[in-house]
Amino acid sequence: MGLNKIFSAQGRIPRSGWWKAILLALFWPLPLVAVIIPLAAAGNFKNLGWAGENIFYMFFIIMIGVSTSITVFANIKRLHDLNKSGRLALLHIVPLANLWLFLTCAFVKGDSSDNKYGPALK
């Protein structure tokens, strides 16, 4: 799956593709965190003064933004596979409704026929 597919709301993905995207969103930052946390603990950012601290925080904001984007686009495409509007992905930010969104995307079988979001998945 290329970057143009990960960061796109077009089309459909099956449950297995959704799980892959969610795991990617969860685990892609780990190698970066494994490098940045020891650097921060050793005080390497303090040598840069206020800029070092800001770099540290910006790094984590960017990581959270990328992971959230992957998750939202995966949810949209998964909802498309269920023949539902991608706008329902906004439930991602609503407490308890996000649980429904997770369970639906994770466990409900997709539409087995063509729908307005694309052809049937094999």
Identity of the amino acid at 118: G
Q: What's the whole-model pTM score?
A: 0.84
At a CB cut-off of 8 Å and minimum separation 6, what does 36 contact?
56, 59
Beta bridge partners of 115: 118
Structure tokens, 39? 């650097």
The DSSP secondary-structure symbol of 109 reads P
The tens place of each residue's pLDDT in the chain, 122 residues long, gives 566 688 999 999 999 999 999 999 999 999 888 887 777 777 766 666 666 667 778 888 999 999 999 999 999 999 999 999 999 999 989 999 999 999 999 999 999 999 999 999 87
